[in-house]
Amino acid sequence: MKWMIPTQHGAWSMLILPFVLGGTVGGWVWTHVPFAIAWLFVYMGTFFLFQYIKQRKKSRELLRTVIIYLMIAILSIIPVLWMQWSLIWFAFAMIPFGLTNAYFAKIKDERNVWNDVSAVTSFCIGGMASYYHGAHVVDETIAWVFVLPYLYFLGSIFFVKTMIREKKSIAYRNLSWGYHMLLIVVFIALGYPLLALAYAPSLIRAIWFYGKKIPIMKIGIVEIANSVFVLVCLTMNLLI
């Protein structure tokens, strides 16, 4: 077996931000530790599973890695489900989106915007599960825990498209700029200035970076830094 780590910087932000937001707002408990381990290895296991699916010549070593990662995830989640079995419903909710990602991997169209949207949905459901594990309740806040990161990552999808795959597309540029502007205007109009502030750097980088030749690594680093800022702002808004 070969230990491997996914190199997609944006996906790491999607993995961590919703989970940490949900745990911080809902309340941390000791079983969040094995929960986090399971969440990490589910991500890594499914990531390499999708890599395996799209291979023409199947790699046994890659398959062994997938199996080990998913076994670690299963063993880690057992004490969590023992304490709170109802979390299984969040896992069921993720299945359709996981199958969607598997489909795009099979047809080798992982850059499709709907594949990205599907992945973001799964990650944000994970944030809801993290919140529910601490709060033990389905309420208005759990909806915000899903929606607010979802809105941020949806904008990130549009931004990254304008920087890499669709950098010559005026339609994607207008979509990216318009979407980020709309978020800020709407939250100001609704009386949530802190939420408007959370998404402001996203608008700035979407406009400032557009048309510039920026290495993918740097784009990923900027997204991680922006995610930290967004996490702080969203956490403050939900805890106030």
Q: Which of 3, 46, 18 is nearest to 154 (CA)?
A: 18
Three-class DSSP category at 84: coil
Q: If you search the block for the tokens 């969203």, which residue do you land on?
A: 234
pLDDT single digits (tens) 7-51? 777 788 999 999 999 999 999 999 999 999 999 999 999 999 998
* pTM to 2 decimal places: 0.93
**Distance between CA atoms of 181 and 200, rounded to whole angstroms?**
8
Torsion of CA 23, 100, 153, 72, to 10 degrees: 40
* Band (212; pLDDT cuts 50, 70, 90): confident
Least reliable range by pLDDT among 88-92, 121-125, 151-155, 169-173: 169-173
pLDDT single digits (tens) 98-137? 999 999 999 988 889 999 999 999 999 999 999 999 999 9
Q: Determine contact, residues 41/80, Cβ cutoff 8 Å.
A: no
C-alpha distance from residue 35 to each of 39, 49, 65, 129, 184 (Å): 6, 21, 20, 10, 33
Q: Which two tokens stand for residue 138?
A: 């389905």
- What value does the mean pLDDT take over residues 135-140? 95
Q: Give burial (CB, 10 Å; 0-12/13-18/19+) of 191.
A: exposed
